Chain A
C-alpha cells in the first residue's frame, strides 16, 4: 500500500467517525441547562387538583429562588433535609428569616401564576394572595423548617377548598 493512500484513508476514517458522532448529537450530549427561576414558567392546562398542586409548588419554588438569587433546583434540594438547608444557608449566607420571606414571596407568585394561567379564579386568588402576604413570619419559617408541611399545607389548603376551587376550574 502506498503511503499517501494510508494517510488519506486515515483522514477519511477520522472525518467519517467525527462527522457521524456530531450528526448523532455528540456536541450537545450534556446535562440540560436549568431555567432562570425569575423567568415565567408556562403552566400546562391543569385538569385536576393534583396537577394544580404540582404546578403551584413549582411556581412557589421559582418565586422563592428568584427572590434569593439561586436556582429553583438548589432551593428544592435545600428544603429536602435540615442538614441540606444548613449547608445551603452557609454557602449562600441566607438565614431562616430571609428564607422564610422568600418562601412567602414564592407562594404569592404561585397564586399570581395560577391566576394568570386561568387555574384559579380571581375571586379566590385575591383573598388567597392577601392571606399569604400576611402569613406570619414564624409560620413561614415553620413551613421552611418542615418542607413536607409546606406541600401538605398547599395540598391541604387546596383540598379543603376543593369544592370551591373546582367550581372555578376552567
Chain B
C-alpha cells in the first residue's frame, strides 16, 4: 500500500528529467502527477465497492497486477501521452489495491482500529518518502527505473494475497451483499483534501525550486527533501502521545502551513535554510494525515468504502493543489527570470570592469540566456575563460557572483506566491478540522 501511495509523489524528483527527455513544458509534465492523482480520486470509492463485491483478496491481487503492468508501460514510455495514459491505468490498479488492503489489514494486525492506524501511517509515510526515493533512483539509474522497480515490488506484494484470493474463489464472495454504508465524514475528508493540496504543493514546489531554480542534481535534491520523511517519523511518535485526533490534525495543519510560509520567505538561496521549514512540514503532515484519516474511518463501516473516500479526498486535494498552483508559479518563474536577467545586466553595466570587456561579457551572457530560453539559466560558462590579469580576473569573478546572486534571488522569489497560497490552503483546513467531531478511537 505504501508503494501505491508513495507513487503519487515518487515521480516529483524525476519530473525535471522527464521534462527534458520527453521535450515537454512544465505544465505538460505536471500531468504525469495530475493524471495519477485524478484517476485515484475518481476510482477509489468505486474500487472499494468492487472490492466489497468480489472480495478484497481478489481485488487487491488484480489491482497489484494492473499496477505492475502499467508500471512497466510507464518505464518503457517514450512519449508524454503514453506515459500519462499508463499512469492513469496504474492509478486504477493502485486504487483497487489500496482500498482492498484496508479490508485485508484487520486479519493481519488484529483489529479494524489498529488497521486504520497502520493504513493511515502508511499513507503519510508513503507521501513523505516518495520524492526522496524517486530522486535517488533518477540520479543513480534513470527516471524510468522508478516505474520499472515498482513491477517486482508490486508482484511480490501480490504473492501473499494470492492465497486469500484463492480462498475467496473457493468459498465464494466473502460478503454476499453489500452492507449499508454510512455517509462519509464530510469535514474530515474536506480537511484532508485541503491539507493534501498544501502538502502536494510543498513537495512539488520544493523539488522544482531545488532542481530547476537552484540547479541541484536529483540525488542532492533527494538528500535535501529526505528531511521530510525523517521528520514525519518524529511526527508519528509525537502523534502517539496525544489521543485527541482533532488537536493532532489542527497542530499538523498549522505546522504544514508554518513550514510552507517559511519556504515562501527564504532569506537566501541556501539548502540549510530549507531544513527548518521541511521539519515543520514533515512533522505536520504525519500528524494531520493520520489524524484526519483515523477520524474519517473511526466508527464507520465498511472500512474499505470509507478508506476509499479518504483516498479520493487526498488525491483530489493533490490535483486541486497542482492545477491551481502550476499556472501561478510558471508565470512567476518567467517574470522573475526577466527581472533577474535585468538585475544581472545592471550589475554588469554598473561594474568597474573595462567597458570593452563588459560588452564582451554582456554578449556571452546574452548568448547563454538565449541557449537556455525559458529556464533559470546557469551563468558560469559565460564567464569562461577568465581574464589573465589578476585584478581583472577578481573583478570578473565578483561580477559573476553578483549576477548569480540575482538569478538565485529570482528563482527563489518565483516560488514565494505559490508557497504562500499553499500555506493558506493548510490554514483554511482548520475550519473543517474544527467542525469535525471527535471520535473515540
Closest residue to A73 on the B side, CB-wise?
B345
Q: Is the CB of B265 within 8 A of A27?
A: yes
Q: Is the CB of B349 within 8 A of A73?
A: yes
Decide yes or no whether A123 CB sits under 8 A from chain B.
no
Closest Cβ of chain A to B413, distance in Å, is 4
Q: Determine the chain B residues whose CB is within 8 A of the CB of A15 once the complex forms.
A: 258
A15 vs B264: C-alpha distance in the bound complex, in angstroms?
13
Q: A6-B238, A10-B254, A10-B255 are in contact. Are A31 and B413 (CB under 8 A)?
A: yes
Decide yes or no whether B276 CB sits under 8 A from chain A.
yes
Q: A1-B241, A31-B413, A148-B359 are in contact. Are A73 and B346 (CB under 8 A)?
A: yes
Closest Cβ of chain B to A149, distance in Å, is 10
Decide yes or no whether B295 CB sits under 8 A from chain A.
no
A61 vs B359: C-alpha distance in the bound complex, in angstroms?
12
A14 vs B256: C-alpha distance in the bound complex, in angstroms?
9
Partner of B343, one of A22, A34, A147, A154: A34
Q: Which residue, B246, B255, B266, B340, has most C-beta atoms of chain A within 10 A?
A: B255
A119 vs B175: C-alpha distance in the bound complex, in angstroms?
95
Q: Is the CB of A30 within 8 A of B284?
A: no
Q: Determine the chain A residues whose CB is within 8 A of the CB of B152 once the complex forms.
A: none
A58 vs B347: C-alpha distance in the bound complex, in angstroms?
12
Q: Determine the chain B residues whose CB is within 8 A of the CB of A21 once the complex forms.
A: 262, 265-267, 273
Q: Determine the chain A residues whose CB is within 8 A of the CB of B267 once the complex forms.
A: 21, 24-26, 29
A77 vs B363: C-alpha distance in the bound complex, in angstroms?
7
Partner of B251, one of A7, A24, A58: A7
Query: Total number of A-B contacts with CB less than 8 angstroms?
Result: 164
- A-contact bits for B213-245, CB 8 A (1 contact / 0 none): 000000000000000000000000010011110
Stretch at the interface among A47-55, A97-105, A109-117: A47-55
Q: Determine the chain A residues whose CB is within 8 A of the CB of B413 once the complex forms.
A: 29-31
Q: A21-B266, A24-B267, A152-B356 are in contact. Are A13 and B409 (CB under 8 A)?
A: no
Decide yes or no whether B367 CB sits under 8 A from chain A.
yes
Q: Is the CB of A72 within 8 A of B349?
A: yes
Decide yes or no whether A81 CB sits under 8 A from chain B.
yes
Interface residues on B, range: 35 or more
A14 vs B254: C-alpha distance in the bound complex, in angstroms?
7
Q: Determine the chain A residues whose CB is within 8 A of the CB of B336 once the complex forms.
A: 30-31
Partner of A77, one of B252, B358, B362: B362
Decide yes or no whether A32 CB sits under 8 A from chain B.
yes
Q: Is the CB of A31 within 8 A of B257?
A: no
Closest residue to A11 on the B side, CB-wise?
B254
Q: Determine the chain B residues whose CB is within 8 A of the CB of A29 once the complex forms.
A: 265-269, 409, 412-413
Partner of A7, one of B247, B352, B410: B247
Partner of A76, one of B243, B265, B349, B412: B349
Closest residue to A61 on the B side, CB-wise?
B349
Within 8 A of B (CB), among A2-54: 2-4, 6-7, 9-11, 13-15, 17-18, 21-22, 24-27, 29-35, 50-51, 53-54
Decide yes or no whether B350 CB sits under 8 A from chain A.
yes
Q: Is the CB of B265 within 8 A of A18?
A: yes
Additional A-B contact list (16), CB under 8 Å, known A3-B246, A29-B269, A61-B349: A1-B238, A10-B250, A10-B254, A13-B258, A13-B280, A21-B273, A24-B267, A29-B266, A29-B409, A30-B336, A31-B339, A34-B346, A72-B346, A74-B345, A76-B349, A79-B359
9 contacts between A and B (CB under 8 A): A13-B255, A17-B259, A24-B267, A58-B349, A71-B342, A73-B342, A79-B359, A81-B363, A151-B359
- The 4 A-B pairs with the shortest beta carbon distances in the complex, nearest first, are A14-B258, A3-B247, A26-B265, A3-B244
Q: Give A contacts to B, CB under 8 Å.
A: 1-4, 6-7, 9-11, 13-15, 17-18, 21-22, 24-27, 29-35, 50-51, 53-54, 57-58, 61, 71-74, 76-77, 79-81, 83-84, 147-148, 151-152, 154-155
